Amino acid sequence: MTGYSDYQLLEAVQKIAAELPMLLPDKDAGILEEKLKIILVDANKPDRVSEIVTDALKIISDYPPVRNELKAHLIRTIGLGSETRLGMFFEPTPGIGGATKPGKIMVVCPVDPSHYITQLRVKGQRCPQHNVELVPEDTILPDNLS
Ligand SMILES: [Zn+2]
């Protein structure tokens, strides 16, 4: 994977900036539109393009629907690339060739849920003390209910 050029990203940001009302609730769209307008005012100055793109991506990364659409737009028009400035394109977008990222699963020791809790890393992970397979935290009822 190669990175997108500043101009490819700038073009995509400008395209997305025009589509905000379709991607966000009115209030958010208005706020983001204003922020991008201020940033993009110098977009025709070649020595500022890299800086402008970085600022725009930083703001857009706070709005997942816009970030996802920006990525989808880049993939549709240019192809799969990487944008490492913010790591935003490392996250696979559901529905665009990427697998859906599973949420964090917390698992506990079924012998004594209070002594061992960890984030599931491998399937079949075991309690180091009791050598039993860990179970998802939400399958264990709190003490006061049992
Ligand atoms: Zn244990």
Task: Decide which of 136 and 22 is more confident.
Answer: 22
Q: In what order do the strands lie in the sheet with 135-136?
A: 117-119, 106-108, 135-136
Distance CA(111)–CA(88), nearest Å, equals 40
Task: Indicate whether 145 pLDDT > 80.
Answer: no
Residue 124 has phi, psi (to 5 degrees) of 80, 15
Q: How far is CA 36 from CA 6, 20, 54, 76, 98, in A?
A: 16, 11, 12, 22, 28
129 C-alpha vs ligand 1 centroid, how far in Å? 5
Predicted pLDDT of residue 84 = 59
How confident is residue 74, by pLDDT bands cut at 50, 70 and 90? confident
Please give the distance, rounded to the nearest whole angstrom, from the Cα atom of residue 107 to the centre of ligand 1.
Answer: 11
For residue 10, the tally of other CB atoms under 10 A from its CB is: 19
> From the CA of 120, how far away is ligand 1's center (Å)?
14
**Number of helices (H), then strands (E), in the chain:** 5, 3
Query: Residue 99 to residues 10, 20, 33, 66, 102: CA-CA distances in angstroms?
Result: 27, 26, 30, 19, 9
What was the pLDDT predicted at 93? 43
Q: What is the largest CA-CA distance in the chain?
A: 67
At 100 the pLDDT is 39
How many angstroms separate the alpha carbon of residue 104 from the centre of ligand 1? 20
**Residue 92: per-residue pLDDT:** 45
- Give residue 137 CA to ligand 1 midpoint distance, Å: 13
- Chain CA centroid to CA 20, Å: 18
